[in-house]
Each structure stands twice: as C-alpha cells, then as structure tokens.
Chains A and B, each alone.
Chain A
Amino acid sequence: MNLAELLIEPLSYGTTWRALVEMTILGIAGGVLGCWVVLYRLSYGAESLAHGMLPGLVLAGLVGLPLLLGGAVGIVVAGVLVAVATRVRMSDPDTAVAVVVTTLFGAGILLALSPSSPTGVGELLFGNLLGTTDAQILISAVATLVVVAIIWLLHPRLLAVGFDGDAAGFARIPAAVVNVILLVLVSVTILVSVQALGTLLVAALLVGPAATARLLTRRMLPMILTSAFVASISGLAGIYASFHLKTAAGASVVVFILASFLVAAAISAVRIRFPAFGPG
C-alpha cells in the first residue's frame, strides 16, 4: 500500500470523514483560544472545568437529555463551585480547586457506573470522535466562528489587559470582565469539543497546541496561527493513525499534540543552546 492509498482509503468511510472535518474545526477553536488560555495562565482552570462537568454529562445521559445541555449545566456548576472554592480561606486556591474537581469527577464516575446509566462511561471520558454526527459538525462550526470572531474583535484589548493590570485602564475594560469573557469562551469550546474528545482529553486541545506554538514563536499572531495549525494537523494525523493502527481516535489525537509539543521543546532547547538557529 503506498502513501496515497494510506491517505485516501480512510476517506471512503463516512465516520472518518466526519471525524476529520470535526477535528479540523475544533482544532481552530481550541488552537486560537488556547493561546489566550496559556497567556492568561488559565490552563488549570480550563482543565478543571473540563473534568468538573462530568456529573452534568452523566446526568443528562441518565435522564435522556441532550449531552450538550447536561454539559452546559455541568460546566456552569463546576465553574461556580471552583470560584467559590478559591475564595474559601481554608486552604490555598489550587488545593481548593483540586478538591472540588476530584469530588465532582468522582461523583460523575459513581453516577456513570450505576446500572441504569445508558451511556458508556468511556465515551464521556475519552470522547467518541468517530461517532461525530452532521449536527455536531454544524454546532462546532458555528461555535468556532463565534469564538474566533470574538477573539479577533477583542484581540487588542486581550493583549493589553494580559500584559498588565494597569493597561485595563487604557483598554477601558476591567480585567475581571476580560477574564469572565475568556472563561465563557473556554466553556463553549470545551462544551462543543467534549463529545469528540471526552472530559479527560479535551483540555489537551486547549493547552497543548498553544504551549507548542509558544515555544516556536515570539509574536502573538504567528503564535495563534501556529497553534491552530498544530491543533488541526494533530487532529488529522491522530485520526489517520487510529484508522490504520486501530487505536482509539481521541487518544491518538492527543498523542500527536503531545508529540508536537516535545518536538517544539527540543527545537526550543537547541535554539537556546545555539542562538544562531533562533527565530528572527
């Protein structure tokens, strides 16, 4: 079998086609937004939301409601609990968030393993990329358009507020409002990505490509473009790999994201050692 056949054969399956389209779209949303998640140091928050939403997804499955609705409720509840936990003076914020998130996650697993639970728990944890429907693709495309449009519109202000708190005065937007806007966009992106990648893997899409791009670039626009490219290409490569190697699709995507990060880290290390190879 030659390379062309390796690339073309999977396309004869509708499931693979839809998975490829879905991952390309989600890669753009996750890659672009992820840059701001990384710069605003929200990686841990994004991961917490993704893990903490599990009970919402499981309950939706139990009651027979759309997963999107259950996930939305789950993410709002997780967000509120995390916000409250960080304000309780009993422990440091990281510990408080870890306690809340593991409790929610445990509750979700407990519910999912109950005999009446119809959905396989694996699907909620690791996603069902090959089960992507046309409706899901449409929702992802609309959400991605909205997320990218808002990010584009707010770009100068996001840049200024992230740079320092005093700049919020110039940007005429309070830093708290900017953070809330970002968290809402993160929630939306997690929500539309969770059926493809599951609560455990979705954070990788938001953090991995952006962290990779950060190592390779020194300006914001190249960073955003690189991040979206890495996310989408890792998505495509993961789906092809899973087709030929019969591995889990979502996990394969994450393996490629991790691999790209390791390659970028190696390149970055070489550049620090030998500045002649540095960018610009």
Chain B
Amino acid sequence: MNPPGKTIPPSGPGLGGPVAMARDLAIGYDGAPVLTGVEFELEAGMTVGVLGPNGGGKTTLFRALLGTLEPAAGALVIGVSCSTVPQSDRSRLDYPVTCLDVARMGTLAGLPWWRRPGRREREISLEALGMVGMRELADSSFGELSGGQRQRVLIARALSAEADLLLLDEPYSGLDSPSAERLDRLILDLAAEGKSVMIATHDVDQTMDWDRVLCLNREQIAWGPPAEVLDRKVLERTYGGQIVEIPGHPGEGVLPPHHHHDHGHGHGH
C-alpha cells in the first residue's frame, strides 16, 4: 500500500513562481497506479506538450491536475486554478446555445450554486471570447461553427473560469490546417498573457514549438525542453518501440502511421 499522496490547495498565484509542481507523483484509480514517477515544475506562461500513447496516462494526469483524481503517492502542488478544454468534435452540436452561452458556463466556477451569472459574468465571458478572437460571433449558434471556432469558444469557456492553467486535450484533432495554425498562435498568445498551457498531442514535431515536453507511458519518460529531451530513445520508450525512421533523415524518429493523427497541421519550422 502506497502512502497517501496529497494535493496542496491553491495559495494564490505567485508571480513568476511555479504554477504547478509534481514530486514523485503516482496517480491511479482504486487499485494499482496507472501513472508513476511524475516530476515536473510548471511556471507561469509555459507551454507544455504532453506526449504518449493512448492509455499512457495523459488523461489521468489531467484529471489529477483538475482535482478529480487524488494522488496515490507523492505530492502535487497546484498554485492556480486549472481548467480543461475538451475535444471540440465531441461536443453536442444539437444543443440550443450561443458562443456567449458556452463562454458564460465557465463563469459558474466562481459562483455559489444558487447564484445566476449576471452582468459582470457577461462581461467576463465577452472578454474571454475577445481573447480567442470570437467576440464578433458571440451570438452565433455554437453548433453552426467550424471545429476550430468551437475549439476557441471552449478555450474561452476555460478563460472565463479565470483559469491560469489550461489543459487542452488533443485540440488539433479534426482541425483543418488554417484552424490548426490559428490555434498555434492562440496557444503562444495565451502563454504571453501569463497563462500556462498543457497540450496533449500525438504530434511529436508540433511540441518543438513549445517550452517543455512531458513524455508519458504509464510512467514519466522525460521532461524538459523538446530540443534537448526528444531523441530516438525517449520516443521509443514513450511509444513502446514502434518508432520508424524517415529515409534520409537519420536519427529522426517518427511515429508509425496508426499512431499519427493526420490533421494537416503545418509545422512552422
């Protein structure tokens, strides 16, 4: 039996200080931990690509950061409020809501259950929509937007929850290439505003644009700047030895096709 882990509650955002910190963290459901040995220190304004196979622990880590899963061992310190952005192609399109309605759902996080969002919450929501470039479409039906626009509205929902740590769950899946480029810019803009962003992705190349990469395969494989950390050995351990090499690019590992989500993303190198 592992000693019980602990999540230390937020103590206000420390400017420049760590936003979240994991020390020998293990997370699991009831029985054995499904993810062990997690150690990282996240700073304000940091962008982090989270790599790993399906079932490697990306979702489990996100749940622990959100507070819906207690650590099984080790420590997880979260100094800011944290919010998740689900995949936009899983949202209900038949639902009678506008972009403003969706963005406003985030403001509920700051209200007791009997309080209804008012004028102040409307302002917060419109501002959040402005940050993602969707303010002009505030009154449009959410279901009639493109996948990329829906993604941005869901990011606005997290922003109107006044979250400083955003968890994006495979945000590029289903996006066409202009939308993916737009999302690239938005992630960097959010980081420039001081938001920390963790992005679960299958695309190794994409993580090169970000500050850190976290490789997970039931345990932490690597953590650090992508250019220093990502090599063939790390990728093989992350994806279980299924790396193939591109002819003419010795040493550069790529994923086998069935792992690779082809979203037509232009990797601005």
A207-229 CB mask vs B (1 if < 8 Å, else 0) is 00000001001111001000000
| Interface status of B200 (Cβ within 8 A of chain A) | no
* Of A8-16, A57-65, A140-148, A161-169, the one with at least 4 CB within 8 A of chain B: A161-169
Residue contact B91 to A157, C-beta cutoff 8 Å: no
- Asked whether A273 is an interface residue with its Cβ less than 8 Å from the other chain, the reply is no
Which partner residue on chain B sits nearest A213 by CB separation?
B96
Given known pairs A156-B104, A163-B97, the reply for A170 and B117 (CB within 8 Å) is no
The interface stretch among B39-47, B108-116, B215-223 is B108-116
Does any Cβ of B come within 8 Å of A180's Cβ?
Answer: no
Q: A residues within 8 A CB of B102?
A: 163
A224 and B245 CA atoms in complex are apart in Å by 58
Asked whether, in the complex, the Cβ of A170 is within 8 Å of the Cβ of B161, the reply is yes
- Rounded to whole Å, the gap between the CB of B62 and the closest CB of chain A is 10
Q: Does A80 contact B (CB under 8 A)?
A: no
Number of A-B contacts (CB under 8 A): 63
* In the assembled complex, B90 has its CB within 8 A of some CB on chain A: yes
Per-residue interface assignment for chain B, residues 88 to 120, with 1 indicating a CB less than 8 Å from any chain A CB and 0 otherwise: 001110011110011011101100011011000
Q: Output the nearest chain B residue to A152 by Cβ-Cβ distance.
A: B116
* Cα–Cα, bound, A214→B116 (Å): 24
User: Are A164 and B91 within 8 A (Cβ)?
Assistant: yes
Closest Cβ–Cβ distance, residue A120 to chain B (whole Å): 42
Q: Which residues of A in the span 43-69 have a Cβ within 8 Å of any Cβ on B? A: none
Measured between alpha carbons, how far is A264 from B113 in the docked complex, in Å? 36
The verdict on A87 contacting chain B, using a C-beta distance below 8 Å, is no
Number of residues on chain A facing chain B (CB within 8 A): 23
Q: Please give me the residue from chain A that is nearest to B101 by CB atom.
A: A159
CB-CB contacts of A146-158 with B at 8 A, as 1s and 0s? 0000000101110
Q: Does B224 contact A (CB under 8 A)?
A: no
Which of these, B83, B101, B105, contacts A171 with CB under 8 Å?
Answer: B105
**Secondary structure dominating the interface of A:** helix
Query: Nearest Cβ in chain A — how far from B81, in angstroms?
Result: 11
Assembly CA distance A218 to B106 (angstroms): 21
Cα-based distance from A153 to B97 in the complex (angstroms): 18
Known contacts: A159-B97, A163-B92. The answer to whether A170 contacts B105 by CB under 8 A is yes
> Which of these, B86, B95, B101, contacts A166 with CB under 8 Å?
B86
B84 touches A166 (CB 8 A): yes
A73 vs B80: C-alpha distance in the bound complex, in angstroms? 48
Chain B 154-173 interface residues, beta-carbon cutoff 8 Å to A: 157, 161
Q: Is the CB of A156 within 8 A of B108?
A: yes
Does A246 sit at the interface, judged by CB under 8 A? no
Measured CB to CB, the closest approach of chain B to A76, in angstroms, equals 25
What is the CA–CA distance of A155 and B108 in the complex, to the nearest angstrom? 11
Q: A159-B105, A170-B109 are in contact. Are A220 and B84 (CB under 8 A)?
A: no
Q: Is B68 positioned at the interface, with any CB of A under 8 Å from its CB?
A: yes
CB of A171 within 8 A of CB of B92, answer: no
- From B68, B90, B108, B114, give the contact of A160 (CB < 8 A): B108
A275–B114 alpha-carbon span in the complex (Å): 40
A223 to B157, CA, bound (A): 23
Nearest-neighbour CB distance to chain B for A165, whole angstroms, equals 8
Of residues 157 through 194 on chain A, the ones whose CB sits less than 8 Å from some CB of chain B are 157, 159-160, 162-164, 166-167, 169-173
In the complex, which of the residues A39, A170, A214 contacts B157, with contact meaning CB atoms closer than 8 Å?
A170
A39-B95, A164-B91, A170-B109 known; A218+B104 contact, CB < 8 A: no
- B96 and A169: CB pair below 8 A? no
Q: Is B208 an interface residue (CB 8 A)?
A: no
Please judge, given known A-B contacts A163-B95, A169-B68, A218-B96, whether A156 and B114 are in contact too, CB under 8 Å: no
Chain A residues with CB under 8 Å of chain B are 39, 153, 155-157, 159-160, 162-164, 166-167, 169-173, 214, 217-220, 223
Pull 7 A–B residue pairs with CB atoms less than 8 Å apart, ordered by A.
Answer: A157-B108, A157-B113, A159-B105, A162-B95, A164-B92, A169-B68, A171-B108
Task: List 17 additional A-B contacts (Cβ < 8 Å) besides A157-B108, A170-B105, A170-B109.
Answer: A153-B116, A156-B108, A156-B116, A157-B113, A160-B108, A163-B95, A164-B86, A164-B90, A166-B86, A169-B68, A169-B83, A170-B83, A170-B157, A173-B113, A219-B96, A220-B96, A220-B101
Interface residues, chain B, with chain A CB atoms under 8 Å away: 66, 68, 83-84, 86, 90-92, 95-98, 101-102, 104-106, 108-109, 113-114, 116-117, 141, 157, 161
